[in-house]
Amino acid sequence: MSIENISTNKVFDGWHKQYNHQSQTLNCKMRFAIYLPPQAANGKKVPVMYWLSGLTCTDENFMQKASALKLAAELGIAIVAPDTSPRGEGVADDPEQAYDLGLGAGFYVNATQAPWNKHYQMYDYVVNELPGIIENHFPVNKQRVISGHSMGGHGALMIALRNPSLYQSATAFSPVSNPVNCPWGKKAFSAYLGADSKKWLQYDTCELIALAQQKIPMLVDQGENDNFLEEQLKPHSLVVAASSNHYPLSLNMRQGYDHSYYFIASFIETHLYFHAANLGLTE
């Protein structure tokens, strides 16, 4: 599959690049960003952290705001950030142009309901198609970790729980932990997956973590001043579910922090070090 480079910037002796490609999974043109640390320039294949962004975001938010690239360069970890949904002419959007459904709000599920099912197959894109592209075109190895924020935090934890053999670790900032029981999740899952709520459970982190048999290390950071804390995010439901199954998940409640990228930038190094340890890059 061909990819088209649309931007290139040197940063911390590595390279941040954006690419377009025609997605066979999503039936549209997609964009992703990749940061290649300086180690990748020397012929060494490096591990990859996949970053899934939240509602209304694109590939650019994390790369430009999270302050992650300096430490990624030191540790030798590539970072890949896809878009948050399919986009383009003919791709379905919410008729009322709400921020929490349609463009920018794919929720990392495989939609089964029309008109969404033609393009909104973000689960398969993140798990299968995108890593295949990355591993075919860039000097990376098969080691993967995954992280995300808000809707993307839901995606990162959910995808890791469903595919524990593919990821060494998973982390999240302010994840939508129990989407089957919050307004954002109920709205998106009803549209994308239909009215049968039993079919939603396969995409719910709390449901998955309580039943998981193969376990990988997980870390979650949550700001105590997050406006979405109680209604949408429900981190304590995640702790209860993890405790019921003795799942290796750590939750840090951060006093005074909100839902923004200021919060992410404050603790992204903790997440990168966590992943590096589970990748065997540090002691």
Residues acting as catalytic residues: 150, 226, 259
CB atoms within 10 A of CB 20: 14
Q: Which two tokens stand for residue 120?
A: 């909104």
- Residue given tokens 């053999």 in the structure block: 165
- Residue 78's CB is within 10 A of a number of other CB atoms, namely 23
- For the record, the structure tokens of 178 come out as 């129990």
For 263, counting Cβ atoms within 10 Å of its Cβ (0-12 exposed, 13-18 middle, 19+ buried), the class is buried
**What's the distance, Cα to Cα, between the start and end of the chain in Å?**
38
Cα-Cα-Cα-Cα dihedral of 243, 212, 249, 261, to 10°?
Answer: -120
- Compute the distance between CA of residue 112 and CA of residue 125 in angstroms, rounded to an integer: 15
